[in-house]
Amino acid sequence: MLVAFALAGFGITGAWAAYQLGFANNKGGVDENYRYLMSVSEIRDMKGKKLSKQQMDAAWMTQYARLAAFGKFYPENARLIMHAAQESNDPILVDKMLAAVSLYASDSDDYVSFMKELEAVIAKQPQRDNPNVIPWMNTVEWEYLRQSILKDSALINEAGRLTGVEPRMIVGCLVGEQIRLFNTKREMVKKYLGPVKMLSVQSQFSYGVNGIKEHTAQMVEEHLKDTASVFYMGRQYENILDFETEDHETERYNRLVDYRNHLYSYIYTGCILHQTMLQWKRAGYDISDRPDILFTLFNVGFSQSVPKSNPVCGGSRIEVDGVTYTFGAIGFDFYYSGDLAQAFPFWPDRFVGDNGRRLSVGEIIRIQDNMSDCNRPEKGLEYRKPDSTAAAPKVEDDGFTSNDDEYAFGKSTDKL
């Protein structure tokens, strides 16, 4: 036992001495791929540190192609890289990550051959500077209109929240109606609405920026309260269009023909979309994933909304630069174009159901407070016949009068 303890003590003492003298240190080594690893970290320097928006977009599109090819062989790694790249918003990071993991794929002849073919295809087709593939999106009217829509983004998003409808759907209806008006009055748009980036407001027959007819608006209000209606949206939405006065006709007109604040136009639009979707869904046809059909039905009205198994896209015919489109197709083009997606992103679900809670009095008042006191054309002027002593000014379909263009701007442009 004495000898055993002596040997143990000698071993412990020797180990401690070896550690102190550095004999036990792992000096490591140089990785045989160190030059490759260094080149991965230097990819940004080789490509340039500052990229323009066009260069950044081109880089992303190239990376998506490379990532899709890599995913054919290593889907799990491709998935991880894709999610990381989306979080970083940096296409150069995809280059680095693909280069890093490709080190382990370099022994696969199939992978190396496939990637070489892909790079050859990408290099073969030069980058083209073509305009937007959707013709009407290349017009000056659309450039004016998209800026006007962005000015109203807060109101449109609020209307979407209040009505449970994806705001981008509301914009799809707005685009169809405004493109029609912009092209009907092209010279007036260039002279007045274009420079100030303002939406056209209708004040006869159809009202507001979305051209909603009075009887349609009245039906929307009735559907909100009628629990037995196939259009009923639920308790959560019952009070969003409550009136402040007993004169509903005048108040409804003032809501829609409001040049300074278009919130009510967007709320009515959202309600029409939501109510129409529910009508079809209750009949056994779910069109919540068919924006083209919903835009068409918004355009043709409740009277022509007949649920069936084979609905078709259509509506009013609209000519833009010599090309004829339908209302539903223009809304569809915009919806899936990706344009204005930062202001109006795609929702996971286009419609939000009823949570069973009615709005409080305070919430209703906050909605009502959005109606401005701007000057509006006299309601019913379009039906008045001129007498022999004084002819009434002619009212155009978009809310302008031939003698008084200021109505298009609410007479006071300083508060737009």
Question: What local confidence, expressed as pLDDT, does residue 227 receive?
Answer: 97
Encode the chain (416 residues) as per-residue pLDDT tens digits. 888 777 767 767 766 665 566 555 555 444 454 454 455 455 554 444 566 777 777 778 888 888 888 899 999 998 998 888 888 877 777 778 888 887 788 778 888 899 889 888 888 888 778 889 999 999 888 988 999 999 999 999 999 999 999 999 999 999 999 998 877 766 666 665 656 667 888 887 899 999 999 999 999 999 999 999 999 999 999 999 999 999 999 999 999 999 999 999 999 999 999 999 999 999 999 999 999 999 999 999 999 999 999 999 999 999 988 899 999 999 999 999 999 999 999 999 999 999 999 999 999 999 999 999 998 888 876 666 666 444 444 433 433 333 333 333 333 333 32
Q: Residue 170: which of 64, 267, 63, 278 has the closest Cα?
A: 267
Which H, E and C letters describe 262-315, residue by residue?
A: CHHHHHHHHHHHHHHHHHHHHCCCCCCCCHHHHHHHHHHCHHHCCCCCCCCCCC
Q: Residue 73: which of 98, 90, 94 has the closest Cα?
A: 98
Question: What local confidence, expressed as pLDDT, does residue 387 receive?
Answer: 60
Question: What local confidence, expressed as pLDDT, does residue 27 receive?
Answer: 53
Question: What local confidence, expressed as pLDDT, does residue 63 receive?
Answer: 81
Question: What local confidence, expressed as pLDDT, does residue 321 receive?
Answer: 86
Region at 211 (left for phi over 0; alpha for psi -120 to 50; beta for the rest): left
Q: For residue 409, what are the CA distances in angstroms to 195, 202, 211, 412?
A: 12, 12, 17, 6
**DSSP 8-state assignment for residue 393:** P
Tokens of residue 84, six digits: 């990381």
Question: What local confidence, expressed as pLDDT, does residue 54 receive?
Answer: 77
Q: Which residues of 340-352 are buried (b: 16+ CB within 10 A; e: fewer)?
A: beebbeeeeebbb
Q: Where are the domains of the chain?
A: 34-124, 135-381+392-409
Around Cβ 365, how many Cβ atoms within 10 Å? 12
